[in-house]
Amino acid sequence: MLSDNHIQKLFDTQDHGRMIACLAENGTAMPLALQARLTQPVAAAGLGLRRLVELTYGPTPLSHDMADALMAAQSPDGAFQGTCDRDPLATATAAAGLAAVLRESPGNQGFAAGRGLSGGLEQGDPRISRLADALDRALASLATMQMEDGLFCHGDDRTLEDRALTSAFVLLLLARLPGFREAIRFADLMTWFDERADRLDDDTLQLYHMASLDDPSRHPASPAYEPVAA
């Protein structure tokens, strides 16, 4: 079991490789083909932060520190650098971590995980406003990384299969966020996978099926990230 204390130690020692390995061992769907690309500071912090919020059921001093580290690493255009510049994997993992903290932040009324968040945020809480702005900019940046066919492209992708795996993982992390679905060409991305489902490799197909379960347009009974009650 990956505890909050263990996440603290891995974050403090910047042991990115071990963070990714422990998350994979503890249930984070992460094919081996992606783990090397995720063994870098932003992805380790983003995925670790996402898991930490799940464990603690809300923000903690550690989650604030990890979120601050992510925001400090964000480029002016909203992107995050990983194993390549403007890395969709790094940007998606950072967005997933920031969204997790935002969703559970006290005083955050009306969080819908997407653009235009400020109208639903409690006035006078600069931390929430900073988180919301960082998330909005990350999602907007992800939209610019989407290719004509709807897939994302990581700098280390060499084949269409590589791009599909990258895109399926991005979907797995963010499909439930309304702001993600609004920021990117979501229908194009889903259509690409739907039309080729019988030709996807096992890892990509598994990620896509898991992401599809988090798409409320396909599963209306599946809970989306609705506004947090006051």
According to the 3-state scheme, what is the secondary structure of 44-64? HHHHHHHHHHHHHCCCCHHHH
User: Could you give the percent of the chain with pLDDT greater than 90?
Assistant: 73
Q: How far is CA 93 from CA 97, 98, 126, 149, in A?
A: 6, 9, 23, 22
Q: What is the pLDDT of residue 83?
A: 87
For the chain, how far is it from start to end, CA to CA, in angstroms?
32
* CA 184 and chain centroid, separation: 14
pLDDT digits (tens, 9 = 90+) for 37-58: 999 999 999 999 999 999 998 7
How many angstroms separate the CA atoms of 94 and 111, rounded? Answer: 18
Both structure tokens of 61: 């001093």
Cα-Cα-Cα-Cα dihedral sign, residues 127, 135, 155, 47: positive
Question: In the block, which residue shows the tokens 């079991």?
Answer: 1
How many angstroms separate the CA atoms of 178 and 157, rounded? Answer: 27
* CA 37 and chain centroid, separation: 15
Instruction: Inform me whether the pLDDT recorded for 124 exceeds 80.
Output: no
| Residue 23: closest CA among 36, 41, 5, 7 | 7
pLDDT digits (tens, 9 = 90+) for 134-190: 999 999 999 999 999 999 988 888 899 999 999 999 999 999 999 999 999 999 999
Name the pTM for this structure. Answer: 0.88
Helices 88-103, 160-174: axis angle to 10 degrees equals: 10
Confidence of residue 218 (pLDDT cuts 50, 70, 90): low
